[in-house]
């Protein structure tokens, strides 16, 4: 890509704010679409296409697809160790870089490049939940509030000054996927609000009291019936729609899709199947009701349909 080509592209819409957008998953798509509507998105950076599914079909990210649909140049660097990948961004002369769930660490040289800075749409109420997985961690921890923070990026991990915030309540049965979808819309509106009013917004520095939100580790999806029904229910919500909470039964891995906490107590041992509704005894005498499941290779079905074709005895103890 030549300097002349990029300069010509910029000159077509020079009166609008020139934005380079960095993002990858579906969560970032509403923000990208809003920015395309209002400003001049001159380039998009996203993670490179990766193999997906059993046939390992090379698949572009949701952000990549939207950018191409709008004839916006797409860059997919593996990292920024190669100086050429930094130069490629500089060639677009962005007024602002907007980042939303991009997936790569951005070097300070890029952060300092645009006139109006590098602005991040972060899916938590900072300083709580700095890191890669704020929405899932909020659901997993049973938080009753979640939100979006528009922040100015610095070289730390989500440590930059906060610019705008919006919080929403999290119902006790809301899944990670449902919350993610709501927050993506809020983020798209909030970034436009910030850009249009940036001259009147004072940055607020974060305190040192923060919570990290790391990616889920292998094994966290496995249900431990010794935990309380509320904790297990939160795990089920936090892992829906990916990768789902699981338990083992007679050599089969069962994904637990939806559940609810039963407002009763039991003195049965933890893991005991209490009835044909698939109520399970959990820690501290609490009870979890399994509403829908998925057996390996099967479809997601409700508990009644599942038990019609799969045998789990009342009184047996799940491990």
Q: Is the pLDDT assigned to residue 95 strictly greater than 80?
A: yes
- The predicted model gives 153-167 an average pLDDT of 96
Q: Is the pLDDT of residue 185 over 50?
A: yes
If you average pLDDT over residues 146-173, what whole number do you get?
97
pLDDT tens-digit map of 126-135: 999 999 999 9
Task: Give per-residue burial for 148-181: e unless 16+ CB within 10 Å, then b.
Answer: bbbbbbbeeebbbebbbbeeeebeeebbbbbbbe
For residue 13, is pLDDT > 70? no
Residues 275-291: pLDDT tens digits? Answer: 999 999 999 999 999 99
Least confident of 47-56, 195-204, 253-262, 308-317: 47-56
Q: Which residue has the higher pLDDT, 10 or 221?
A: 221
Q: What is the mean pLDDT of residues 41-68?
A: 94
* pLDDT classification of 14: cutoffs 50, 70, 90: very low
Contacts of 154-161 with CB under 8 Å at 24 or more apart are 154/108, 154/111, 155/108, 155/111, 157/130, 157/131, 158/120, 158/122, 158/126, 158/130, 158/131, 159/130, 159/206, 160/120, 160/206, 161/203, 161/204, 161/205, 161/206
Q: How confident is the model at residue 1 (pLDDT cuts 50, 70, 90)?
A: very low
Is residue 5 over pLDDT 50?
no
| pLDDT value of residue 174 | 98
- pLDDT band at 52; cut points 50, 70, 90: confident
What is the tens place of the pLDDT at every residue in 56-75?
A: 899 999 999 999 999 999 99
Rounded CA-CA distance 229/231 in Å is: 6
Per-residue confidence (pLDDT) for residue 9, from 0 to 100: 47
**The pLDDT value given to residue 15:** 54
pTM for the model stands at 0.92
> For the chain, where do the domains classified as CATH 3.10.25.10 start and end?
229-309
Block residue for tokens 């990029």: 6
Q: What local confidence, expressed as pLDDT, does residue 153 receive?
A: 97
Average pLDDT, the chain: 94
In which band, very low, low, confident or very high, does the pLDDT at 209 lie, cut at 50, 70 and 90?
Answer: confident
For CATH 3.40.50.170, the residue range(s) in the chain are 3-200
What is the model's pLDDT at position 12?
A: 44
Q: What is the mean pLDDT of residues 148-162?
A: 96
Q: Is residue 82's pLDDT more than 80?
A: yes
Mean pLDDT of 306-315: 95
Percent of the chain with pLDDT over 90: 90
Q: State how far the alpha carbon of 248 is from the alpha carbons of 117, 254, 262, 312, 315, in Å.
A: 49, 6, 22, 12, 16
Domain spanning 3-200: CATH 3.40.50.10440: no
What homologous superfamily is domain 229-309 in, according to CATH? Formyl transferase, C-terminal domain (3.10.25.10)
């Amino acid at each position: 890509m030549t300097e002349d080509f990029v300069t010509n592209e910029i000159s077509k819409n020079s009166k609008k704010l020139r934005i380079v957008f960095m993002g990858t998953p579906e969560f970032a798509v509403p923000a990208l679409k809003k920015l395309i509507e209002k400003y001049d998105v001159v380039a998009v950076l996203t993670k490179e296409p990766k193999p997906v599914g059993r046939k390992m079909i090379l698949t572009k990210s949701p952000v990549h697809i939207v950018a191409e649909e709008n004839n916006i140049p797409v860059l997919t660097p593996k990292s920024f160790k190669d100086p050429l990948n930094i130069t490629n961004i500089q060639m677009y002369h962005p007024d602002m870089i907007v980042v939303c769930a991009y997936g790569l660490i951005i070097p300070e040289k890029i952060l300092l490049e645009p006139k109006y800075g590098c602005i991040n749409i972060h899916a938590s109420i900072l300083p709580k939940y700095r890191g890669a997985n704020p929405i899932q961690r909020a659901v997993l921890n049973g938080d009753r509030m979640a939100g979006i923070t528009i922040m100015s990026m610095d070289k730390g991990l989500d440590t930059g000054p906060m610019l705008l915030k919006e919080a929403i309540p999290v119902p006790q049965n809301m899944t990670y996927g449902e919350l993610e979808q709501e927050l993506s819309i809020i983020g798209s509106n909030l970034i436009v609000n910030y850009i249009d009013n940036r001259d009147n917004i004072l940055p607020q520095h974060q305190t040192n009291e923060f919570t990290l939100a790391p990616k889920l580790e292998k094994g966290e999806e496995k249900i431990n019936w010794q935990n309380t029904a509320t904790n297990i229910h939160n795990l089920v919500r936090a892992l829906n729609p990916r990768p789902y909470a699981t338990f083992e039964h007679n050599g089969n891995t069962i994904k637990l899709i939806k559940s609810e906490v039963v407002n009763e107590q039991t003195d049965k041992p933890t893991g005991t199947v209490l009835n044909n509704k698939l109520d399970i005894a959990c820690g501290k005498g609490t009870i979890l009701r399994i509403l829908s499941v998925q057996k390996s290779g099967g479809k997601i079905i409700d508990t009644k349909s599942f038990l019609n074709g799969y045998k789990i005895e009342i009184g047996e103890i799940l491990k």
